[in-house]
Amino acid sequence: MPDFEYYDLNVQGPLAYVTLKRPDRLNTLGLGPWKEIVLVQDEIEANPDIRVVIIKADGDHFSAGIDLHDLEKVDSRWVADNIHWLQRLNSRWQDMNPIVIAAVHGVCYGAAFEMIIACDIRIASEDARFSIPEVRFGLSPDMGGSQRLPRLVGPGQAKRLIIACDEIDAREAKEIGLVEIVVPRDQLYERAEKMAKRIINNPPWAVRFAKKAINASLDSSIAGGLLLEQIQSIFCCGTEDQNEAIRAFFEKRKPQFQGK
């Protein structure tokens, strides 16, 4: 396993932990962390055994967003040459086969906010705080925030958070649909791992198709989405895992899935 500067990647069978690890800088993101996260994602996608990824962070806070010192170094030309690459970093979490869970505590601002809304499930500790303040710095969210956030919380809430730069706590984040689960701080990783194990215990192909079908529903017509459901049903019906799930149910035992 490569030794990373800004992250730890810890793979435990079907579960991978990605940990932001520069708490002395509030786990801020920027050119170095973004270049390195590509390598982390490459490692994950090269390992077909990984079924779930949990993204978490060392220290008191998840991430304060972009390092403003890095922001000072770029101009419109640099953005034009690199913005598609930056957007693709978050899209990879959304598109990859493993289910990606963000376990968030403390502050989660800006670029980190845009990263977690590209994840599949978000679990927050009670002390978590969320803000997407790009407008305050003369910008607009450009790593997917303006597109993914309305799909999660609706256009009105998205405009409030983006245009007014409102900061919200974990309770309000759950109320508006930004996060799915809120727990006490000392239960955050336990709850994320419990969710991960529930997913891992389900048939791999069914989980993979479910993720892709739900993602497609946000961008496609009902007809297109129903066609995708037809395809996954044709593929999954009669697989070894599907037959094993039924046998295990009737035999009152834990199923043993092979991804076949």
Residue 67: per-residue pLDDT: 84
Which CATH number does the domain 7-200 belong to among 3.90.226.10, 3.90.1150.10, 3.40.50.720, 3.20.20.70?
A: 3.90.226.10
Query: Which residue type is seen at 104?
Result: V
- So which residues are the catalytic ones? 114, 134
Beta-ladder partners of 121: 101
Q: What would the pLDDT profile of 61-105 be if each residue is shown by its tens digit?
A: 999 998 877 776 777 787 788 888 989 999 999 999 999 999 999
Q: What would the pLDDT profile of 61-71 be if each residue is shown by its tens digit?
A: 999 998 877 77
Listed by start position, the domains of the chain span 7-200, 204-251
Residue 74: per-residue pLDDT: 73
For 204-251, CATH gives 1.10.12
Residue 245: per-residue pLDDT: 67
Which residues of the chain have a pLDDT value below 50? Answer: none
In the 3-class helix/strand/coil scheme, how is the chain assigned residue by residue? CCCCCCEEEEEECCEEEEEECCHHHCCCECHHHHHHHHHHHHHHHCCCCCCEEEEEECCCCCECCECHHHHCCCCHHHHHHHHHHHHHHHHHHHHCCCEEEEEECCEEEHHHHHHHCCCCEEEEECCCEEECCHHHHCCCCCCCHHHHHHHHHCHHHHHHHHHCCCCEEHHHHHHHCCCCEEECHHHHHHHHHHHHHHHHCCCHHHHHHHHHHHHHHCCCCHHHHHHHHHHHHHHHCCCHHHHHHHHHHHHCCCCCCCCC
d(CA 129, CA 170): 6
Residue 163: per-residue pLDDT: 94
Residue 210: per-residue pLDDT: 92
Residue 246: per-residue pLDDT: 67
Residue 225: per-residue pLDDT: 67
Residue 237: per-residue pLDDT: 67
